[in-house]
A and B are shown apart, each in its own frame.
Chain A
Amino acid sequence: MADESIDVRGLTCPKPLVETKKKIRKMEVGKVLEVIGDHGPSKIEIPEMLEEAGNEIMDVSESEGVWKITILKKEV
C-alpha cells in the first residue's frame, strides 16, 4: 500500500510531473507515492524523469484512460 497519494486527473503538461515532484520531495526516503492521472504523455514521462532522479518505479497500470504510477522514494 502507498503511504501517500496524489490525484492529477484533469491536469495537463507540465503540471502532472510538477505536482508529483512537489509531493515526493516532501516525503521521506523509503516511502511509497501513488500518482493517479489521465494525461497521456505523463504516464511515460513521470516514470522516466523520477527514475532518472534516483527513485524506483514499482508499478505502472492503466484502466479506461486513467493511469496509476507507484513510486518508491529513493532520491535524497
Chain B
Amino acid sequence: MEDYHTEKRGVTLTKLSLIMFSGELDKALAGFVLASGAAASGWDVTLFFTFWGINIMRSENKTALEKKDITSKMFGRMMPKGTEELKLSSMHMAGIGTSLMKKRMKEKNVSTLYEMIQDAKELGAKFLVCDMSMEIMGLKKEEFIDEVDDIVGVGTYLKEAKESDVNLFI
C-alpha cells in the first residue's frame, strides 16, 4: 500500500485526518475550518468523506453517466446536492435559520464552505470519498466536484489514521 505520510526538508509533517460523517452545514464548516487551517500551517491533511458526509462533495450540476435504479434516484433526490443545499444541524427552521447563518457569515467576512474547500485543496489537502457509502447511496464518482482526489475503501482510511497525529470524527 502506498505510504501517504509526507516528508519535507527531511522532516515528517504533522498529519491531520478527519472523518467527515455528517452532511450538515455547521459540521462541515467545523471540519473545513480545521482542514484549511491545518493545510495553511503546512500540515499534511486528509479528509475521508463517508455516509452523509459524501453529500458535501456532490456537484450541483454534474450527473451520472449511466442510468440509475429507482432507489438510487430516490436517494439522489432526497439528499443535499453539494455545499449550497446543506442545512444546519439545529435551528434550520425550514430554511430561515440556515439562510440567516449564511447572511451572518457573509457580514462577518467568513468564507463560504465551498471557498474553504478550495483553499484547503490549493494548500494540498486530500479529499477521499468512501466507496461503500457511494454504493449504498447510489452515487457515481462523476457526480462529485473536481476537488475530490479518489474513491477509497476503509483500508486506505485506516492507514491514513494510523499515521495521523490528530484524527477527528465529525
Contacts and interface: CB of A to CB of B under 8 A. Distances in A.
A11 interface: yes
A1 interface: no
Contacts, number: 48
Contacts of A17: 37, 40-41
Contact of B109 (A15, A22, A25, A49): A15
Most chain B beta-carbon neighbours within 10 Å: one of A14, A49, A54: A14
A13 B119 CA distance: 13
Interface residues of A, number: 18
A75 B42 contact: yes
B42 A12 contact: no
What DSSP secondary structure best describes chain A's contact surface? loop
A14 B108 CA distance: 12
Contacts of B8: 76
Contact of A21 (B40, B109, B111): B40
A11 B40 CA distance: 15
Contact of A54 (B9, B40, B108): B9
B101 interface: no
Contacts of B39: 18, 21
Given A18-B119, A22-B119, A22-B122, A12 B108 contact: yes
B88 interface: no
B110 interface: yes
Given A14-B36, A14-B37, A18-B37, A53 B42 contact: yes
A49 B9 CA distance: 16
Contacts of A53: 41-42
A76 B10 CA distance: 11
Contacts of A75: 9, 42
A72 to B, nearest CB: 16
B34 to A, nearest CB: 8
Contacts of A10: 109
Interface of B: 8-9, 33, 36-37, 39-42, 108-111, 116, 119, 122-123
Given A14-B36, A18-B39, A49-B42, 16 more contacts: A12-B109, A13-B33, A14-B40, A15-B109, A15-B110, A15-B111, A17-B37, A18-B36, A18-B37, A20-B40, A21-B41, A21-B42, A22-B123, A49-B40, A53-B41, A53-B42
